[in-house]
Amino acid sequence: MAIDLDKITRKLRVAPGKPFRLADHDPGWAGDGDIPEQDRKEFAEGLLASDVADLARMQELLWASDTWSVLAIFQAMDAAGKDGAIKHVMSGVNPQGVEVTSFKKPSEEELDHTFLWRCMKRVPERGRIGIFNRSYYEEVLVVRVHDRLLEAQRIPGVRPTSKTWADRFDDINAFERHLVRNGTAIVKFFLNISRKEQRKRFLARIDEPDKHWKFSPADVAERQHWDAYMKAYEEALAATSTEQAPWYVVPADKKWVSRAVVAGVLAATIRGLKLEWPAVDDAKRRQIEEARRLLEAE
Protein backbone atom coordinates (compact mmCIF):
# COMPACT_ATOMS: atom_id res chain seq x y z
CA MET A 1 0.00 0.00 0.00
CA ALA A 2 1.67 3.23 -1.15
CA ILE A 3 1.67 6.45 0.83
CA ASP A 4 2.96 9.89 -0.14
CA LEU A 5 4.89 10.96 2.96
CA ASP A 6 5.98 14.20 1.31
CA LYS A 7 2.34 15.12 0.77
CA ILE A 8 1.53 14.45 4.42
CA THR A 9 4.48 16.44 5.72
CA ARG A 10 3.62 19.38 3.47
CA LYS A 11 0.10 19.25 4.90
CA LEU A 12 1.38 19.35 8.48
CA ARG A 13 4.29 21.76 8.06
CA VAL A 14 3.73 25.38 9.12
CA ALA A 15 4.60 27.50 6.09
CA PRO A 16 7.00 30.35 6.89
CA GLY A 17 5.60 33.84 6.54
CA LYS A 18 2.03 32.75 5.81
CA PRO A 19 -1.17 33.05 7.88
CA PHE A 20 -1.53 30.16 10.31
CA ARG A 21 -4.55 28.95 12.27
CA LEU A 22 -4.73 25.90 14.50
CA ALA A 23 -8.38 25.60 13.49
CA ASP A 24 -7.15 24.44 10.09
CA HIS A 25 -5.40 21.43 11.68
CA ASP A 26 -7.59 18.56 12.87
CA PRO A 27 -6.17 16.88 16.02
CA GLY A 28 -8.14 13.74 15.09
CA TRP A 29 -6.77 13.42 11.54
CA ALA A 30 -5.96 9.80 10.78
CA GLY A 31 -5.09 9.71 7.10
CA ASP A 32 -6.78 10.59 3.85
CA GLY A 33 -8.84 8.47 1.49
CA ASP A 34 -5.81 6.70 0.01
CA ILE A 35 -5.99 4.10 2.79
CA PRO A 36 -9.23 2.39 3.90
CA GLU A 37 -10.21 3.59 7.37
CA GLN A 38 -10.17 0.09 8.88
CA ASP A 39 -6.56 -0.42 7.72
CA ARG A 40 -5.07 2.88 8.85
CA LYS A 41 -3.93 1.95 12.35
CA GLU A 42 -2.21 -1.25 11.19
CA PHE A 43 -0.59 0.61 8.31
CA ALA A 44 0.64 3.44 10.57
CA GLU A 45 2.17 0.93 13.01
CA GLY A 46 3.97 -0.76 10.13
CA LEU A 47 5.19 2.61 8.88
CA LEU A 48 6.47 3.44 12.37
CA ALA A 49 8.42 0.17 12.56
CA SER A 50 9.94 0.80 9.14
CA ASP A 51 10.95 4.37 9.97
CA VAL A 52 12.36 3.34 13.37
CA ALA A 53 14.60 0.84 11.60
CA ASP A 54 15.55 3.47 9.00
CA LEU A 55 16.29 5.95 11.78
CA ALA A 56 18.63 3.48 13.45
CA ARG A 57 20.62 3.08 10.23
CA MET A 58 20.82 6.83 9.69
CA GLN A 59 21.88 7.47 13.26
CA GLU A 60 24.93 5.30 12.65
CA LEU A 61 25.67 7.34 9.51
CA LEU A 62 25.15 10.58 11.46
CA TRP A 63 27.66 9.39 14.07
CA ALA A 64 30.20 8.18 11.52
CA SER A 65 30.10 11.31 9.37
CA ASP A 66 30.55 13.55 12.45
CA THR A 67 29.50 16.69 10.56
CA TRP A 68 25.87 17.35 11.56
CA SER A 69 23.88 16.97 14.74
CA VAL A 70 20.08 16.85 14.92
CA LEU A 71 17.85 18.66 17.41
CA ALA A 72 14.21 17.59 17.68
CA ILE A 73 11.96 19.83 19.78
CA PHE A 74 8.64 18.62 21.21
CA GLN A 75 5.98 20.99 22.53
CA ALA A 76 2.40 20.19 23.47
CA MET A 77 -0.37 20.59 25.96
CA ASP A 78 -0.34 18.11 28.86
CA ALA A 79 -1.24 14.48 28.01
CA ALA A 80 -0.60 14.98 24.29
CA GLY A 81 1.83 12.06 24.24
CA LYS A 82 5.30 13.63 24.02
CA ASP A 83 6.92 10.99 26.24
CA GLY A 84 5.29 8.12 24.37
CA ALA A 85 6.22 9.53 20.96
CA ILE A 86 9.85 9.94 22.02
CA LYS A 87 9.93 6.44 23.53
CA HIS A 88 8.47 4.69 20.48
CA VAL A 89 10.23 6.68 17.76
CA MET A 90 13.65 6.32 19.36
CA SER A 91 13.14 2.69 20.41
CA GLY A 92 15.57 1.26 17.84
CA VAL A 93 18.24 3.92 18.13
CA ASN A 94 21.57 3.38 19.91
CA PRO A 95 21.12 5.21 23.24
CA GLN A 96 24.76 6.29 23.17
CA GLY A 97 23.94 8.56 20.25
CA VAL A 98 20.81 10.20 21.71
CA GLU A 99 20.21 12.53 24.62
CA VAL A 100 16.73 13.50 25.82
CA THR A 101 16.39 16.62 27.97
CA SER A 102 13.15 17.45 29.75
CA PHE A 103 12.91 21.08 30.79
CA LYS A 104 10.95 21.75 33.96
CA LYS A 105 10.49 24.86 36.08
CA PRO A 106 13.65 27.03 35.85
CA SER A 107 16.03 26.98 38.80
CA GLU A 108 17.29 30.14 40.51
CA GLU A 109 20.56 29.80 38.62
CA GLU A 110 18.71 29.48 35.30
CA LEU A 111 16.57 32.52 36.09
CA ASP A 112 19.77 34.53 36.54
CA HIS A 113 20.70 33.89 32.89
CA THR A 114 18.99 34.58 29.58
CA PHE A 115 15.96 32.43 28.75
CA LEU A 116 18.00 30.54 26.13
CA TRP A 117 20.92 29.71 28.43
CA ARG A 118 19.79 26.44 29.95
CA CYS A 119 18.85 25.06 26.53
CA MET A 120 22.08 26.20 24.90
CA LYS A 121 23.99 23.88 27.23
CA ARG A 122 22.02 20.85 26.04
CA VAL A 123 22.35 21.33 22.27
CA PRO A 124 23.67 18.04 20.81
CA GLU A 125 27.28 17.69 19.68
CA ARG A 126 28.14 16.65 16.13
CA GLY A 127 27.09 13.12 15.30
CA ARG A 128 24.36 12.95 17.94
CA ILE A 129 20.58 13.40 18.15
CA GLY A 130 19.30 15.71 20.86
CA ILE A 131 15.66 15.75 21.92
CA PHE A 132 14.10 18.59 23.89
CA ASN A 133 10.93 17.59 25.75
CA ARG A 134 9.69 21.16 26.10
CA SER A 135 12.27 23.85 25.44
CA TYR A 136 12.94 27.58 25.27
CA TYR A 137 9.53 27.83 23.60
CA GLU A 138 8.03 27.66 27.09
CA GLU A 139 9.20 31.27 27.36
CA VAL A 140 6.64 32.38 24.76
CA LEU A 141 3.95 29.92 25.86
CA VAL A 142 3.56 29.29 29.60
CA VAL A 143 5.35 32.55 30.49
CA ARG A 144 3.00 34.39 28.14
CA VAL A 145 -0.12 32.76 29.56
CA HIS A 146 1.12 33.31 33.14
CA ASP A 147 2.92 36.59 32.64
CA ARG A 148 3.73 36.93 36.34
CA LEU A 149 6.51 34.44 35.61
CA LEU A 150 8.21 37.14 33.56
CA GLU A 151 8.66 39.22 36.71
CA ALA A 152 10.71 36.42 38.29
CA GLN A 153 13.26 36.78 35.48
CA ARG A 154 14.09 40.33 36.65
CA ILE A 155 14.96 41.62 33.17
CA PRO A 156 15.37 45.42 33.30
CA GLY A 157 12.52 47.24 31.59
CA VAL A 158 10.84 44.10 30.25
CA ARG A 159 7.07 43.86 30.66
CA PRO A 160 4.49 41.36 29.28
CA THR A 161 3.74 43.29 26.09
CA SER A 162 3.40 42.24 22.47
CA LYS A 163 6.86 43.73 21.83
CA THR A 164 8.40 41.44 24.46
CA TRP A 165 7.03 38.31 22.75
CA ALA A 166 8.04 39.61 19.30
CA ASP A 167 11.56 40.25 20.61
CA ARG A 168 11.70 36.70 21.94
CA PHE A 169 10.57 35.31 18.61
CA ASP A 170 13.44 37.25 17.02
CA ASP A 171 15.89 35.85 19.57
CA ILE A 172 14.69 32.29 18.97
CA ASN A 173 14.92 32.63 15.20
CA ALA A 174 18.42 34.08 15.45
CA PHE A 175 19.52 31.28 17.79
CA GLU A 176 18.13 28.55 15.54
CA ARG A 177 19.64 30.19 12.46
CA HIS A 178 23.01 30.17 14.24
CA LEU A 179 22.68 26.48 15.09
CA VAL A 180 21.78 25.48 11.54
CA ARG A 181 24.65 27.53 10.10
CA ASN A 182 26.98 25.60 12.38
CA GLY A 183 25.74 22.11 11.59
CA THR A 184 22.71 21.43 13.80
CA ALA A 185 19.59 20.42 11.86
CA ILE A 186 16.41 21.42 13.69
CA VAL A 187 12.92 19.94 13.44
CA LYS A 188 10.08 20.97 15.74
CA PHE A 189 6.89 19.08 16.60
CA PHE A 190 3.73 20.49 18.12
CA LEU A 191 1.60 17.52 19.19
CA ASN A 192 -1.87 18.87 18.57
CA ILE A 193 -4.34 17.28 20.99
CA SER A 194 -7.99 18.32 21.25
CA ARG A 195 -9.46 19.50 24.52
CA LYS A 196 -11.91 16.59 24.42
CA GLU A 197 -9.14 14.00 24.05
CA GLN A 198 -7.07 15.63 26.79
CA ARG A 199 -10.05 15.33 29.15
CA LYS A 200 -10.38 11.64 28.24
CA ARG A 201 -6.69 10.99 29.02
CA PHE A 202 -6.85 12.90 32.30
CA LEU A 203 -9.84 10.79 33.38
CA ALA A 204 -7.92 7.64 32.45
CA ARG A 205 -5.13 8.73 34.75
CA ILE A 206 -7.66 9.22 37.53
CA ASP A 207 -9.57 5.98 36.89
CA GLU A 208 -6.56 3.67 36.49
CA PRO A 209 -4.42 3.24 39.65
CA ASP A 210 -1.27 2.45 37.66
CA LYS A 211 -1.57 5.86 35.99
CA HIS A 212 -2.02 7.89 39.18
CA TRP A 213 1.69 8.72 39.18
CA LYS A 214 1.12 10.67 35.95
CA PHE A 215 -1.66 12.80 37.40
CA SER A 216 -1.05 16.34 38.63
CA PRO A 217 -3.78 18.74 39.79
CA ALA A 218 -1.81 21.48 38.01
CA ASP A 219 -2.55 19.80 34.68
CA VAL A 220 -6.29 20.20 35.20
CA ALA A 221 -5.80 23.78 36.36
CA GLU A 222 -3.98 24.61 33.14
CA ARG A 223 -7.02 23.45 31.13
CA GLN A 224 -8.77 26.61 32.29
CA HIS A 225 -6.32 28.58 30.15
CA TRP A 226 -6.85 26.48 27.00
CA ASP A 227 -7.85 29.38 24.73
CA ALA A 228 -4.92 31.50 25.88
CA TYR A 229 -2.53 28.63 25.17
CA MET A 230 -3.98 28.08 21.71
CA LYS A 231 -3.49 31.76 20.89
CA ALA A 232 0.08 31.64 22.21
CA TYR A 233 0.84 28.51 20.18
CA GLU A 234 -0.63 30.02 17.02
CA GLU A 235 1.50 33.13 17.25
CA ALA A 236 4.66 31.27 18.28
CA LEU A 237 4.43 28.70 15.49
CA ALA A 238 3.62 31.33 12.88
CA ALA A 239 6.54 33.53 13.94
CA THR A 240 9.18 30.81 14.32
CA SER A 241 8.50 28.23 11.60
CA THR A 242 11.31 28.92 9.15
CA GLU A 243 12.87 27.11 6.20
CA GLN A 244 15.83 26.10 8.33
CA ALA A 245 13.84 25.17 11.47
CA PRO A 246 10.26 24.19 10.53
CA TRP A 247 7.33 23.40 12.80
CA TYR A 248 5.08 20.40 12.16
CA VAL A 249 1.58 20.35 13.64
CA VAL A 250 1.15 16.66 14.43
CA PRO A 251 -2.38 15.24 14.99
CA ALA A 252 -2.22 13.76 18.48
CA ASP A 253 -5.70 12.47 19.33
CA LYS A 254 -4.63 9.05 18.04
CA LYS A 255 -1.22 8.08 19.35
CA TRP A 256 -0.53 5.70 16.49
CA VAL A 257 -0.89 8.64 14.10
CA SER A 258 1.39 11.02 15.99
CA ARG A 259 4.11 8.40 16.45
CA ALA A 260 4.12 7.42 12.78
CA VAL A 261 4.20 11.06 11.66
CA VAL A 262 7.06 11.99 14.01
CA ALA A 263 9.11 8.98 12.93
CA GLY A 264 8.55 9.72 9.26
CA VAL A 265 9.40 13.42 9.52
CA LEU A 266 12.49 12.82 11.67
CA ALA A 267 13.78 10.12 9.34
CA ALA A 268 13.20 12.36 6.34
CA THR A 269 14.99 15.25 8.06
CA ILE A 270 18.15 13.23 8.63
CA ARG A 271 17.98 11.69 5.17
CA GLY A 272 17.77 15.21 3.75
CA LEU A 273 21.22 16.02 5.15
CA LYS A 274 22.69 13.78 2.42
CA LEU A 275 25.33 12.38 4.76
CA GLU A 276 28.14 10.18 3.49
CA TRP A 277 30.30 7.55 5.12
CA PRO A 278 33.82 8.82 5.91
CA ALA A 279 36.22 8.36 3.01
CA VAL A 280 38.85 5.65 3.39
CA ASP A 281 42.29 6.50 1.96
CA ASP A 282 44.73 4.08 0.34
CA ALA A 283 46.73 3.58 3.53
CA LYS A 284 43.60 2.56 5.44
CA ARG A 285 42.59 0.18 2.64
CA ARG A 286 45.99 -1.49 2.85
CA GLN A 287 45.54 -1.90 6.60
CA ILE A 288 42.13 -3.47 6.05
CA GLU A 289 43.48 -5.91 3.48
CA GLU A 290 46.39 -6.83 5.73
CA ALA A 291 43.98 -7.46 8.60
CA ARG A 292 41.91 -9.71 6.30
CA ARG A 293 45.04 -11.64 5.26
CA LEU A 294 46.09 -12.21 8.88
CA LEU A 295 42.63 -13.29 10.00
CA GLU A 296 42.11 -15.68 7.10
CA ALA A 297 45.55 -17.21 7.68
CA GLU A 298 44.72 -18.25 11.26
134: left (phi over 0), alpha (psi -120 to 50) or beta: left
The per-residue pLDDT for range 181-197, each reduced to its tens digit, is 999 999 999 999 999 99
Res. 61 pLDDT band, cuts 50 70 90: very high
Q: Which domain holds residue 281?
A: 5-297
Percent of the chain topping pLDDT 90: 71
Interval 113-128 mean pLDDT: 97
**Cα(250)–Cα(86) distance, integer angstroms:** 13
CB-based contacts of 212: which residues, under 8 Å, 6+ apart?
205, 206
Q: Using alpha carbons, select from 73, 14, 4, 8 the residue that is nearest to residue 243.
A: 14
Q: Is the dihedral of CA 211, 213, 214, 215 positive or negative?
A: positive
**Cα(165)–Cα(136) distance, integer angstroms:** 13
Which CATH number belongs to the domain containing residue 55 in this structure?
A: 3.40.50.300
Q: Using alpha carbons, select from 19, 44, 7, 21 the residue that is nearest to residue 249.
A: 21
Position 102 pLDDT exceeds 90: yes
Cβ proximity of 51 and 223 under 8 Å: no
Interval 79-100 mean pLDDT: 92
pLDDT in the model for residue 227:
97
Number of folded domains that form the chain: 1
pLDDT in the model for residue 37:
61
Position 42 pLDDT exceeds 90: no
- In this structure, the number of other CB atoms found within 10 A of the CB of residue 162 comes to 8
Position 3 pLDDT exceeds 80: no
CB-based contacts of 12: which residues, under 8 Å, 6+ apart?
25, 248, 249, 250, 251, 261, 265
**Cα(88)–Cα(74) distance, integer angstroms:** 14
The structure's pTM equals 0.91
The residue type found at 99 is E
pLDDT in the model for residue 245:
97
pLDDT in the model for residue 134:
97
Cβ proximity of 93 and 129 under 8 Å: yes
**How far apart are the two ends of the chain, measured CA to CA in Å?**
50
